[in-house]
Amino acid sequence: MVLLTRTFGARLVALLAPIGLSACLRFVDTPDPWPCTVDDDCQDGRVCLHRHGGGECRNADYCEYDWDCADVSACVANACTPVECTLESEAICAPYVCKGSACLSSCTSSSGCDSQHECELEKCVLR
C-alpha cells in the first residue's frame, strides 16, 4: 500500500513504519510539477494541465509554445506574455488595436477594434 501525502512529513513515516506500511512523501522542497488528475489535486491556485501523457500542476498561464497562449501573447520563459506592438505592426493585434506598445485583448468602444470590427460586450466582432 502506498500513501501519498503533502502535509504530514516525517511524522507520518514514524506512524506507518511499525505497522509495515510504506509511504511516498512530498516534502516542501520536492520540485514541481506535482502530478495531478484534476485541478483539486493542485495547490496555490495552480491548475492540472495534461501534457506528455500525464497531468502536472502548473500556473494557469504556463506555456511551452506560442500556440499555448490565448489572445496576442507569446510564450516567454514558460509564461504567456503580451506581444509588443507598434502602430506599424498593429495588424498583429487584429481584431484589436495596439495601445501603449501592447495589443488590447478587450474593448470598451469601437476605437479599441480595427476598422473591420466593432465593440460588442467588450469583444471586437465583425461589422
Does position 3 have pLDDT exceeding 90, yes or no? no
* Per-residue pLDDT, 14: 46
* Per-residue pLDDT, 91: 87
Q: Give the pLDDT confidence of 94-107 residue by residue, as tens digits.
A: 899 988 888 888 89
Tally the C-alpha atoms within 13 A of residue 95's C-alpha that lie toward its C-beta: 16
Nearest CA among 83, 32, 85 for reference residue 57: 32
User: pLDDT band at residue 6, thresholds of 50, 70 and 90?
Assistant: very low
Q: Give the pLDDT confidence of 11-40 residue by residue, as tens digits.
A: 444 444 455 544 444 555 555 678 899 999
Task: Look at residue 110 and give its three-state secondary structure.
Answer: helix
Task: Look at residue 74 and give its three-state secondary structure.
Answer: strand
* Per-residue pLDDT, 30: 55
What is d(CA 42, CA 25) in angstroms, rounded to the nearest whole number? 15
pTM of the model: 0.45
Q: Give the pLDDT confidence of 35-57 residue by residue, as tens digits.
A: 899 999 898 889 998 877 788 89
Measured in whole angstroms, the distance separating CA 65 from the mean position of its chain's CA atoms is 12
